[in-house]
A = this chain, B = another copy of it.
Amino acid sequence: MIGIAVVGYGYWGPNLVRNIAEIPGLDLVSVCDLDRDRLTGMQARYPTVEITDNFDEILGDSRIRAVAIATPVFSHFQLAMKALMAGKHVFVEKPMASSSDEARRMVEEAARRRLVLAVDHTFIHTGAVRKMREIADSGLGDVYYYDSVRVNLGLFQHDVSVIWDLAVHDLSIMDYVLREKPVAVSATGMSHVAGEPENIAYLTLFFDSKLIAHVHVNWLAPVKVRRTLIGGSNRMIVYDDLEPSEKIKVYDKGITLNGNPQRNGEKIHQMLVGYRTGDMYAPRLDRTEALARELTQFMECIESGNRPIADGNAGLRVVRVLEAATQSLAWRGRIVELEPARLIA
């Protein structure tokens, strides 16, 4: 049994508590939140779990070997660093930190102490996204584009822009599904509330190959959309997370290129690009709750010393794109290069 504490009991913390309580190898020792009122209802349901508003108690408790952090983004760095320095394994909400410098220091600290640092990129543990990766690995061919729309009439946040709130999901999914990593980003967007961060944004990601990725995020849309298109040379995917059962549709569609004939006019061109349309299928998806898989994996990594799928480097890669996108957005789309050398091997 691995003793674990949850820090932060706001929007996401209850999900952590519920899942940890049901995983056999984890022992939920304590839950910490500055607002003790939030913890009262929790304890009625889980009477054996201790509560505290003092993070240092967590740090000093030798029963607690791991900490799951679900506080606001700005506090991730400080809390995670303290936990790592106290020898605790860390599971931290996404985005992992407020800046790539913070994220890098967290990665370095965990590496130095040989502790597990997992970032809660929840979506990559869903049946839908795992199936997408499987297809991207085996059947898509060359990946041409990744296009995602994630919009709704949402909870405006006042400390981070819509990029850090919503695009982080798409960036973490892309980081998992695509083999290539982005090398540059161009972003545009707008704030419609004076003094507040951007509530609508568009990100384009460039890669070394011909792959292009784009993310549209918006807190001010009349309808909810969660739709990703992935185009490959052999197949294409539509991933609609709002579909109750057929979230992933795989289309046997595409273009065929017939060599490279001399171009003398339109007819030659028509020979060059042909269209192919075949069956569509919607594979059955594993319906295990993503967070349960993820926490189980975190536990196994603590025991085995393996790295989690979304380790600190994955979290760092995502934060670096968020950071670059924020910079590009301020410059109304000017490209910002992502320096690969700054990643920690």
Chain A interfacial positions (CB closer than 8 Å to B): 44-45, 47, 144-145, 147, 149, 151, 153, 156, 158, 184, 186, 188-196, 200, 202, 204, 206, 210-212, 214, 216, 218, 220-224, 229, 231, 233, 236-238, 242, 244, 246, 249, 251-255, 257, 260, 263, 266, 269, 272-273, 275, 277-284, 328, 331-335
Contact = CB atoms under 8 A, between A and B. Distances in A.
Given A147-B216, A186-B186, A222 B238 contact: yes
Contacts of A144: 190, 192, 200, 220
Nearest to A236: B222
Nearest to A246: B280
Contacts of A257: 193
A44 B156 CA distance: 36
Nearest to A144: B192
A167 to B, nearest CB: 14
Nearest to A46: B44
A139 B328 CA distance: 34
B273 A284 contact: no
Contacts of A220: 144-145, 231, 236, 254-255
A242 B216 CA distance: 21
A47 B196 CA distance: 45
Of the candidates A45, A184, A191, A231, the one having the most CB atoms from chain B within 10 angstroms of its own CB is: A231
